[in-house]
Amino acid sequence: MHLVVPYAAAASEPGAQALHGLRLPNLERLLARLTPTLKTATDADSLNLPHEHALAACRGWQIRDGCLPLAAWSAHADGLAPADADQGWGLLTPTHWQVGSDQILLLDPAQLHLDEDESRGLLEALRGLFEPEGWALHWGAPLRWYATHDSLRELATASLDRVVGRPIDLWLPDRQTGRTLRRLQSEVQMLLYTHPINEAREARGELAVNSFWLSGTGCTRSLVTGDHEPSIDERLRGPWLAGDWAAWVEAWHALDAQRMAELERRATRGEPIGLTLCGERVAQRYDSVRMGTWQRLAQRWRRVDSLRALEPL
C-alpha cells in the first residue's frame, strides 16, 4: 500500500507556524518503521506541484514540467476514452477571476458551488468558440471540463492549484506559445459576461463563472502505468488553499488518527508500506525495507519528530 499526502506542509509563515501546532503520534510511529527513499524537489516557478511529479513517477510517466498528462488520466477515470494514442488533452476548469486595480486573482473553483445543469449549460455556450478552432470539448463533472486539440500535446500549462489565490499573469503561457489560448480566454470572458446563467447566479448572490483555467496538458501516449497506483488523500487541500490553518491542523489530526494509524498497524504486521509526504517544494517518499533481527529491535526505540520530517517540504 502506498499513500500520497499532498499539502502536508506550507512554506508561508502562517503555515510554518501551524506546523508547530501539529501532534501526529501515528505518523511519528509510522516514520520510525520506514526509510526515506525517493525525493522529488521543485522550485517556486515549477508549473506542477511536487505531489503531481510524485504521482507521475509512480505511474511511469515521462517527467516534463507542465506537460504531465493529468487531464488525459482524469478524463479516462471519468469514462472518456481517448480517440487515438497521440490525442492531446487539457483540463478546462470553470473559474472566477477576481479583477483588482493592479492584478487578477483566480479564486478556488469550489467557491462557485456550480451544479451540473449550470455547468453543462455553460460548456455548451463555449462550443461555438472552440469547435471552429478544431478543439473538441467534453463534460466530465461540474468543475471538470476537457478539451482535445493537437496543440495540447506539447503546450506546457500551470497546475490549477499553483494559481488559486494568486495573480494569474505569472502562470499564463507566454504570448507566443499561448496566443490561441489567451484569445479564447478573452472571448470566453466576453461571452460569459452577460450569459443568463451567470445573471441568475449573481441575482442569488453566487459568483459568476467568468473564465476558465487550462491545465494538465499532455498526450495520451504518455499514459503508461506503473505497477501500483497509489492512494491519494486530499483532505488537507481545501484548508491549505484557503489559508485556514486552524482547519488544516484539524484535518491533519484527523488524517493522523485514521490513515496514518491504519498504515502504522499494517507496517507493524510486516506489510510493505509506502508513504509520500508532499509540500510546496518537495515530495519525500518513505518505504518499508527488509531488516535483520537487530535492526527490528532497534526500530522499537527509534523516534522520529514529525516536525523535522515536514518542515523541509
Nearest CA among 201, 276, 281, 223 for reference residue 73: 223
Buried-exposed string 140-151: b where 16+ CB fall within 10 A, e elsewhere:
bebbbbbbbbeb
pLDDT given for residue 225 in this prediction:
56
pLDDT given for residue 224 in this prediction:
57
Q: pLDDT tens digit string along 79-132?
A: 886 656 678 999 999 999 999 888 999 999 999 999 999 999 999 999 999 999
Coil, strand or helix at 56: helix
CATH architecture of 70-222: 2-Layer Sandwich (3.30)
The domain limits of the chain are 2-60+228-310, 70-222
pLDDT given for residue 227 in this prediction:
54
Provide φ and ψ at 36, rounded to 5°. Answer: -60, 135
pLDDT given for residue 219 in this prediction:
85
Phi-psi domain of 4 (left: phi exceeds 0; alpha: psi -120 through 50; beta: other) = beta
Residues of the chain with pLDDT under 50: 292-294
pLDDT given for residue 68 in this prediction:
94
